[in-house]
Amino acid sequence: DADVTQTPRNRITKTGKRIMLECSQTKGHDRMYWYRQDPGLGLQLIYYSFDVKDINKGEISDGYSVSRQAQAKFSLSLESAIPNQTALYFCATSDPSTRSDEQFFGPGTRLTVL
């Protein structure tokens, strides 16, 4: 079984709709992250959480919100989706005892906003 799972894997929605992307992990890591990847660009950090009570904005948090429901669950919401939020979204986890903060990624969610 995969250590980091994301649902859904693909989603097509319309402008203005509310969308939630979910992430679950079985690695037991405290730290969780949400990234987006656009064609030809690297991954950009949207939000990160170092524990259940700690939520922080990343580089591109505008238009997004998150919820850390438990150590193992971290969801990303688009309150009112717009077309330029069409992208590939990745969830990741890491163990804070690892000095280099190597991250473990889920398979991604491809989101299309029409």
Binding site for other proteins (CB under 8 A): 4, 33, 35, 40-45, 48, 56, 90, 92, 99-108
CB of 80 vs other proteins, minimal distance in Å: 27
**What's the distance, CA 8 to chain centroid?**
12
CB of 78 vs other proteins, minimal distance in Å: 20
> CA 89 to CA 10: how far, in whole Å?
10
Q: Which is nearer to other proteins, 65 or 104 (CB)?
A: 104
Secondary structure (3-state) at 85: helix
> CA 68 to CA 100: how far, in whole Å?
23
> CA 48 to CA 51: how far, in whole Å?
9
Q: Which is nearer to other proteins, 40 or 70 (CB)?
A: 40
CB of 59 vs other proteins, minimal distance in Å: 8
CB of 104 vs other proteins, minimal distance in Å: 7
> CA 61 to CA 6: how far, in whole Å?
19
